[in-house]
Amino acid sequence: MTTSNLDPPRSPKRKRSSSPNGIPQYDGADDGAALQYGYDEEMPSELQSPVEDDTPAKRQRLERPRRLNYVPHLTLRGHKRGVAAVKFSPDGRWIASCSADATIKIWDATSGTLSRTLEGHLAGISTIAWSPDSKVLASGSDDKIIRLWDISTGKPLPNPLIGHHNYVYSLAFSPKGNMIVSGSYDEAVFLWDVRTARPMRSLPAHSDPVSGVDFVRDGTLIASCSSDGLIRIWDTSTTQCLKTLVHEDNAAVTSVRFSPNGKYVLACTLDSCLRLWNYVDGRCVKTYQGHKNEKYSINAAFGAYTAEVGLAEFEGEEQERWAFVVGGSEDGRAVLWDVSSKEVLQELEAHEGVVLGVDVAPDTTIATCGLDKTIRIWKRQPLPLETNGTHGAEVVVPIMAPLVDDSTPVNGTPVGAQDDG
Amino acid sequence: MSHSDGGVDTLRRSVSPGTLKRKREGRASPSTFTKSAKLADNTTAVTGARMASITSADPRNKQYRSPDSDETPQSDSGDTLRGVGSASSHASTASSVFSSNSHAFAQNRKASVANGLTPMTSLSDSSPKQSSPPQSKGGAEMATSNGSFSHDPASDTSLEPPTARKERPQMMLPRGKAKGYRVVWDPELDGKLSKEERKRATLRKRDFGTETYEPDPPPDPRLALPGYMSGQCRTKDRLSKAIWRQAPYNLPPYKIDRHSIGPGEAQQVVVVGFDPFIPESTLKLNFSTYGSVASVQHKTDPETGSFLGIALIKYRDGYRDGLDCNAVESAKRAEAELGGQRIGVHTVKVEVDREGRRFKKYVEQALKKAKDERAKERRASVAPAPKAVAKTSTGSPAPPLNAPKGPSGKSSAPAVRPPDGPRAVPEGPRAVPEGPRAVPEGPRAVPEGPRGAPPAQPRAAGSALIEEDPILSKIKRKPYIHIPHASVPVLHTTIPHLKKRLKAYDWREVRLDKTGYYITFEDSKRGEDETERCFSECNQAALFTYKMGMECQKYGNPDYERSPSPERVMAAKQKREVYERLKREDEEDMEIEKKNRAANLDPVHGALEKLRVELRDRIMGDIKTRIAIPIFHDSLDPAKHAEKRRKLGLRDPSDNENKGTALLFNKAGDTPPHASKSRHGYLLSHSKPLRPHDPHNQRGRKGEREVQRAPANAFVDERRRRPAPRPSQHARGLHFKLQQMYDDEEDSDDERRTSLTRDTEDQESRPLSRASRNSTPFDMESVTDTPKHKRRKVEEWDEEKKEVFDATHKQLLGHLLNKDPQDLATRELEQVVNTLPRASVYGERARTELYLRQRYQRDDDLFNIKNEQKNNLIADFIDDVEMAGREQASTPATEIDAKAVKEKAKRKRKTKKQILEEQEALKAEARQAKAASKPVAQETVAKIEQKELELEAVEELAKTDVDWAFTHDKPRRTVEHDRDLILDIDGWQDVIKDDEDLAWAKRALAEEPAYDVSDVKTWAWKQKEIKALNSGTQGPVQSETGIEGYYVPNPTGSARTEGVKKIFNEEKSKYLPHRIKVQRAREERQAQEKANPGVVVEAVKITAADKLASTATSRSNRVNNRRLVNDINLQKQTLATDADVAIRFNQLKKRRKLVKFDRSAIHGWGLYAEENIGQNEMIIEYVGEKVRQKVADMREIRYEKQGVGSSYLFRMLDDEIVDATKKGGIARFINHSCDPNCTAKIIKVEGTPRIVIYALKDIGTNDELTYDYKFEREYGSTDRIPCLCGSANCKGFLN
């Protein structure tokens, strides 16, 4: 059994057949599950017969763990000031963290040892981005400069990207590694050519600091968001604005991220919501709540989880996976939501103070960082036996969170086993 | 057998009267064929031919007979009958069918004749000779051989074959004549009759063909087809392209247009047939009714000079009666309307003549005709003429005075040949009585006129005696004597008297023309002698009352050249004609050219041409005077040639030698004061008279020059460098003077002014001594310049460090604070020092000043040094740090003596200490600042410093081995600290030079908390690395390696850790590039305004000028556009109506200005002018979708939802809103301003309302365009849009 039989409106073909008017119908929980982790668009869809649609979904829901058990694996200390962002390298070997103390630290992802400290910025660093080959790290600092660092030597590449007129606020590498998109406090989105270190284009669209930028998985689209409440989707090649997403509340958007399959955009807003947008239709599909985010520009990340921990390693067979969203909260937690059901899967009692950055490694390890100058690595563990899940006796959920409705935010009571590793 | 067969055969055919023509032809060939076959059968060709001719003749005979007599050979009557019956039936149809196109048939017949086939014509009048030539030949043979057939018309035809041919019969017989007969009853066939009866009875027959009725040929069915003849017909089956067109295509000739080559259409007409004596003006008048006549060429006979009555009238393009008349049109009209009309009594023929060929042809014809006529006439008169000639020539040498010529001679000698006959003839009776009174005799000549002559004749004859053609040209080689009309008046009556008078000489002729009398002699030696004799004896002799002034030419006409052969004459004439024509054409061209030129004459061009010429002359003159002459004079300098002179052993030139050259070269120095000046202000050297060099003039001149120099010249710039005064010398080389002269001209404006002022003051009387003095002030000035410069410098320095004073201090000190401490009085200084706190810079400076003053007071007391120099010294001392190196050189150092040096040295130590203290303080400050960001451990820092300094100290030792010595000028520091040094690691290392410094530093930083930098060296290295990375340099630096531009450090370190804050607009305008640009521009403007308001006025002027220029261009643009619109409208009319849509012309588009959009300081985007735009000029049209109010409302909501932060809806009419959000022009980017520079107007363009943005005031390049949105006011509304226009009178909200 492959991952194919998930939800009906997954593949384009499928979507077309199921919704004749071209607009996918989002009826509650099922839709969001279309967010597949990984690039599995081309999967055969013949298995998904309309008849089976309901039953497997139910069955999945049954099978899908209601709780996740991420436990602190490591705590990385070393930064002298608040850590603004943490990022796993695409190959999963490294963790990079940047801090307001103007340094970047490269940690070994497995052991948690400090590999390098990259110094050279004159001011605090707000954002970092890994190149796809995991060899170069880009960092954007308050000194308006974007530096590219060679991880192997720990030295910056000779030509920094200079051109912003104020703090560099957000960064993203293109999937091919040839371009960098950066958002800044000067309200401009710059598209840089990495090789020449020159800005290729400037995307002028926002009237407030550009808090988040991201490339879609094939690099053809750029998403940018700003405190003015707009999320804009750009065509990379023409640098035309293709879509503008805006919510009625017009809350400042602090982070934007394409879903792994590139169909949705996840945006964090300062009204304590995470929103999943179908940017094609310009509609908000899901809203995740349960955390607090009113001031800080907090990252969010997509992740995937399987029914059981570690099974994938032992069995060659690929496991069924579901997507989750993890986002930081200003009360020190990191909250995990199931993408489609919007249930809170777990709340990580991560930091003292604001959790600024979260990232999920390819092996679903989670890293969080916060204003408390530390970085935490979280690994998933099987649920403890004593707490019963909804279905299996073998699954124990240490953190109980009530099932939440769409409307009511959760104020769960986390009982996290803190480990100062 | 064969013969009879043939005969029968032929007979049968020939008998048929109306044989089918075509059939006959078809049959004819077989018949002849059989004939020829038979001929071939015969043994001899001759007999065959004969037989053939017989056979052919035979039926003819019969045929001829048959209509005449009813008797036909009975033997073959049946055959005949049959033939007739069948043939007639055929004939009727055939004739009817082919009658319509008989010509085609005729052709066929001809062809058959040509083929040599004998058409077996059965027609009565057909002759045998119509047949093929061999046959006719045969027939002719026959006719000649035996006369049995001689009665036949054949004989006639043989005589004149062509006429016979002509008489070819018509296919249709003449009407009324019987074509034949028809047997209506044949007794032989009547079975009722007996045998006898049958014999007796005769055929009853009836003629036919006599009927007058001619059956109409049946209509050609093809003609029923519609459009058959015109070529429009289309057959049913081939509807598409198959057009059978019978009518020939008549291609119209190509129209002559501007693409055609060759001569254009005819512009001239040739007129023939009018009365040759009609005056040219009448002709012209006649033809000028059709257009303006360029020229009328009425041809004359080149020989007789009479008009030929052929004229060529050329038209030209002109303007008449308010209409343009084209030459071509005129010519055409003339041809059409005047052709066949009458001019006078004659009907004229008018033809257009493009190239004059027709005209030429006519002329040639006419000339030829005239020539022929003349030739004929001559031929006719040749017979009597020679007689007459013979008579005169062969007659006695004595003048035949009373030799009356016969009437024939008179008649044969008409006006054409006047010299021949009449000379002798009419004069006979009159000769004696007529004296010099010839004129009254004239009328009397009429009754006396020779007999039989018409009354006009004698007059003509009389006048004819005076030959029209110049005789001289006809005289040729004959010796002659000319009596010019000046001496003897030209009267034909004189001739006889003259003859009589000269009877003693053997002359040949006495002729008379306008120029006088010609007495010709025999063309021989004798004649020449005779001529000479006559001349010698009769010259100046009297003839009546006249004196015969003679001119003897015994060798004939001196100008005579042997007349060329007629061909050559013709050729020459043609050549001349061609030449004349070319000349005429050239003249015409010239005329046209002249006219064109006159039309195109541009005064500007003329003026330019003039100017150019003038300028060139000027430049040439300048080159001559300024370049060439100095060079010459340089080379003429005697000093230069000293060596040469020495070589050649010449002595040095004295003053006298210069005199000579001075004569040659006029110099400006020699000009009198009132010398005329050129327009360009300098003296024209050539306009002066040459005068000898006056050495004494030098002095006066010198005086002049000096006066020009300084005193009279109040406006001369003092800074201007003057040439060093030359030593006055009595005599100078010419070259020198010249050089001076041009030197003078170089600083021309001054010179000019002085030369003007010279009139008022008598400069010449200036004493010499004054001149020599004027070098001193210069030196003074150059000396005094420097302190000024210094003072300025100090002021600058002062401005740099402006201080902000407390209110109390301001109150206390008042205006003193605005002054420079140097300018204050000592008491004031004391006041300032007492009032201001120690920290105040101003106070510090005042203190220093005060101190210095006191000190210098003391110094003065001691050394009595001048005040000024002291000041200099003070100034030097104050800014010794900055200016030390630079200004030392200029300070006079000599007066300072050893004691001062000592004191200064003391001071120096003291100051050094002070500085050290200051440094420590600074260090402490810096440390504090550093500590604020990162608490540095004092010890560690100190440690670093120590370590570094240990290293450094060694270096310093090596470095400081300069030559130690006392400075004599001013105090100096042993170590020069760079105060600008940034105190980072490198800076500190640079500042702390030795242990003492380190100790001080340590003490200063004692209280600082320590900061843990694990490994000091690593930390230091890292710091250096970072610095190197960001500043690109290593080592101590002067400027902070920091973040360029606007930077506000985040309290928490980075933007992300800081959280999201609301950023206010004023903050944004500090870093947003587009706002910075605007801000900077504004600030610049303001600063400039403050600095000097004149500049602003200037700028305003400039913009005004720009505006003027721009309006000019825009106006011309508009004119062009209007023209374009007119063109297009014209085209629209000519083209189909739907082209209207295709070329919809947007006028507004054309008039728009160059604009661009960019980020705006006001809101989002803005529109900026890219050129200067004048007031009230149109800038751009607001383009967008036109929607209704409801749609607009819906859209507005949608846009708001979509986050389109700007409103691009523009209300045009009540229910028409222009939405430029999704589709629209860039005019939508224009922002609102409460103080706008544009306005939006709704105007109607071609009936549709449009929104157009106009400039409300003059807008400069890169100014943002704004207009008032005029939103409705919504006081108290929660949804008010704040206005960010930033203008002075901003209302704060858009609505």
Answer yes or no: is pLDDT of B486 > 50.
yes
Residue of A nearest to B1051 (CA): A100
Q: What is the DSSP letter of B1293?
A: B
Test A230 with B1205 for CB contact under 8 angstroms.
yes
Residue of B nearest to A126 (CA): B1056
Residue B1079: per-residue pLDDT: 73
Q: What is the DSSP letter of B562?
A: P
Mean pLDDT over all residues of chain B?
Answer: 64
Q: How confident is the model at residue B485 (pLDDT cuts 50, 70, 90)?
A: confident
Helix (H) or strand (E) holding B295: strand B292-300
Q: Name chain A contacts of B1076, Cβ cutoff 8 Å.
A: 165
Mapping DSSP onto H, E and C, the string for B385-417 reads HHHHHHHHHHCCCCCCCCCCCCHHHHHHCCCCC
Q: What token pair was written down for A149? A: 């660092």
Contact B330, B290 (CB under 8 A): yes
Average pLDDT over residues B600-605: 77
Identify the residue among A97, A116, A122 best suited for mutation to test binding to B, counting B beta carbons within 10 A and taking the highest.
Answer: A122
Q: Among B1050, B1076, B1164, whose Cβ lies nearest the Cβ of A207?
A: B1164
Which residues lie below 8 Å from residue A329, measured CB to CB, with a gap of 6+?
Answer: A291, A292, A293, A298, A335, A354, A355
Average pLDDT over residues B231-259: 67
Test A124 with B1164 for CB contact under 8 angstroms.
no
Residue B518: per-residue pLDDT: 83
Q: Among B1043, B1060, B1164, whose Cβ lies nearest the Cβ of A143?
A: B1043
Test A204 with B1205 for CB contact under 8 angstroms.
no
Q: Which residue has the higher pLDDT, B1039 or B688?
A: B1039
For residue range B372-417, list pLDDT tens digits in order: 888 888 777 655 544 444 444 444 444 444 444 444 434 443 444 4
Q: How far is CA B313 from CA A43, B433, B957, B999, in A?
A: 99, 53, 117, 123
Test B1203 with A127 for CB contact under 8 angstroms.
no
Q: Name chain B contacts of A244, Cβ cutoff 8 Å.
A: 1202-1204
For residue range B654-684, list pLDDT tens digits in order: 544 444 444 444 444 444 444 444 444 444 4
Share of chain B above pLDDT 90, in %: 1
Phi, psi of B148 (to 5 degrees): -60, -30
Residue of B nearest to A241 (CA): B1204
Helix (H) or strand (E) holding B588: helix B566-600
Answer yes or no: is pLDDT of B616 > 90.
yes
In the block, residue with structure tokens 């400042």: A252
Tell me how close the Cα of B1019 comes to any Cα of chain A, in angstroms. Answer: 11
Q: Among B1059, B1201, B1205, whose Cβ lies nearest the Cβ of A207?
A: B1205
Q: Among B1059, B1159, B1204, whose Cβ lies nearest the Cβ of A297?
A: B1059
Q: Would residue A85 be called left, alpha or beta, if left means φ above 0 and alpha means ψ between -120 and 50 degrees?
A: beta
Q: Name chain A contacts of B1201, Cβ cutoff 8 Å.
A: 246, 248
Answer yes or no: is pLDDT of B988 > 70.
yes
Residue of B nearest to A279 (CA): B1202
Tell me how close the Cα of B1281 comes to any Cα of chain A, in angstroms. Answer: 15
For residue range B1235-1283, list pLDDT tens digits in order: 888 888 888 777 788 888 888 888 888 888 888 887 776 666 666 677 7
For residue range B328-384, list pLDDT tens digits in order: 888 888 888 887 777 777 888 888 887 888 888 888 888 888 888 888 887 776 555
Identify the residue among B1048, B1057, B1065 best suited for mutation to test binding to A, counting A beta carbons within 10 A and taking the highest.
Answer: B1057
Average pLDDT over residues B761-771: 41
Size of interface A-B (CB pairs under 8 A): 137
Mapping DSSP onto H, E and C, the string for B962-1015 reads CCCCCCCCCCCCCCCCCCCCCCCHHHHHHHCCCHHHHHHHHHHCCCCCCCCCCC
Q: Among A186, A244, A270, whose Cβ lies nearest the Cβ of B1071?
A: A186
B18-27, B429-438, B1270-1279, range with greatest mean pLDDT: B1270-1279
Please, what's the b/e burial string for B180-206 (b: 16 or more CB within 10 A of its CB; e: otherwise)?
bbeeeebeeeeeeeeeeeeeeeeeeee
Average pLDDT over residues B549-578: 76
Mapping DSSP onto H, E and C, the string for B803-851 reads CCCCHHHHHHHHHHHHCCHHHCCHHHHHHHHHHCCCCCHHHHHHHHHHH
Q: Is B746 helix (H, G, I), strand (E, B) or coil?
A: helix
Helix (H) or strand (E) holding B751: helix B748-757
Q: How confident is the model at residue B508 (pLDDT cuts 50, 70, 90)?
A: confident
Residue B687: per-residue pLDDT: 42
Contact B737, B669 (CB under 8 A): yes
Which residues lie below 8 Å from residue B1181, measured CB to CB, with a gap of 6+?
Answer: B1148, B1149, B1152, B1225, B1227, B1250, B1251, B1252, B1253
For residue range B1104-1115, list pLDDT tens digits in order: 565 555 555 666
Tell me how close the Cα of A145 comes to any Cα of chain B, in angstroms. Answer: 9
B130-139, B957-966, B1225-1234, B1283-1292: lowest mean pLDDT where?
B130-139
Q: Among A166, A208, A248, whose Cβ lies nearest the Cβ of B1071?
A: A166
Q: Name chain A contacts of B1018, Cβ cutoff 8 Å.
A: none
Q: Is A292 helix (H, G, I), strand (E, B) or coil?
A: coil
Average pLDDT over residues B873-899: 45
Answer yes or no: is pLDDT of B258 > 60.
yes
CA dihedral B636, B638, B640, B645 (to 10 degrees): 110
DSSP B223-263: GGSTTTTTT-EE-SS--SS-EE--SPP-PPPPPP-TT--SS
Mapping DSSP onto H, E and C, the string for B1171-1238 reads CCECCCCEEEEECEEEECHHHHHHHHHHHHHHCCCCCCEEEEECCEEEEEEEEECHHHHCEECCCCCE
Residue B680: per-residue pLDDT: 45
Residue B521: per-residue pLDDT: 83
Q: Name chain A contacts of B1049, Cβ cutoff 8 Å.
A: 123, 142
Residue B1101: per-residue pLDDT: 64
Q: For chain A, which residues score pLDDT lower than 70?
A: 1-63, 309-319, 385-421
Q: Name chain B contacts of A83, Cβ cutoff 8 Å.
A: 1057
Which residues lie below 8 Å from residue B1293, measured CB to CB, with a gap of 6+?
Answer: B1280, B1281, B1282, B1283
Rounded to the nearest 10 degrees, what angle do helices B102-114 and B77-98 cross at? 120
Instruction: Give the ipTM of the model, two decimals please.
Output: 0.74
Answer yes or no: is pLDDT of B1006 > 60.
yes
Residue B951: per-residue pLDDT: 55
Phi, psi of B847 (to 5 degrees): -60, -50
Chain B residues at the A interface, defined by Cβ less than 8 Å, are 1022, 1025-1026, 1029-1030, 1041-1047, 1049-1050, 1052-1057, 1059-1060, 1063, 1068, 1071-1073, 1076, 1159, 1164, 1201-1205
Test A126 with B1071 for CB contact under 8 angstroms.
no
Test B1043 with A142 for CB contact under 8 angstroms.
yes
DSSP B156-207: HHHH-HHHHHHTPPPSSPPTTS--EEEEEE-GGG-TTS-HHHHHH---EEEE
Residue A380's DSSP bridge partners are A70
Sequence letter at residue A29: A
Residue B246: per-residue pLDDT: 66
Share of chain B above pLDDT 70, in %: 48
Answer yes or no: is pLDDT of B272 > 50.
yes
Q: Which residue has the higher pLDDT, B24 or B1192?
A: B1192
Nearest to residue B938, comparing CAs of B993, B1014, B1012, B996? B1012
Q: Which residue has the higher pLDDT, B544 or B930?
A: B544
Q: Is B773 helix (H, G, I), strand (E, B) or coil?
A: helix
Q: Name chain B contacts of A165, Cβ cutoff 8 Å.
A: 1045-1046, 1071-1073, 1076
Can you tell me the distance from the alpha carbon of B359 to that of B353, in angstroms, rounded to the nearest whole number? 7
Helix (H) or strand (E) holding B614: helix B603-622
Phi, psi of A201 (to 5 degrees): -140, 155
Cα A276 → chain centroid: 12
Test A120 with B1030 for CB contact under 8 angstroms.
yes
Contact A382, A305 (CB under 8 A): no
Which residues lie below 8 Å from residue B681, measured CB to CB, with a gap of 6+?
Answer: B748, B752
Helix (H) or strand (E) holding B552: strand B551-553
Identify the residue among A79, A80, A142 best suited for mutation to test binding to B, counting B beta carbons within 10 A and taking the highest.
Answer: A142
Residue B1102: per-residue pLDDT: 63
Residue B303: per-residue pLDDT: 78
Q: Among B1046, B1053, B1057, whose Cβ lies nearest the Cβ of A166?
A: B1046
Test B1054 with A208 for CB contact under 8 angstroms.
no
A41-50, B457-466, B499-508, range with greatest mean pLDDT: B499-508
Q: How confident is the model at residue B176 (pLDDT cuts 50, 70, 90)?
A: low
Q: Among A98, A123, A296, whose Cβ lies nearest the Cβ of B1059?
A: A296
Q: Name chain A contacts of B1056, Cβ cutoff 8 Å.
A: 84-85, 100, 126-127, 169, 296-297, 356
Helix (H) or strand (E) holding A188: strand A188-193
Q: Name chain B contacts of A270, Cβ cutoff 8 Å.
A: 1060
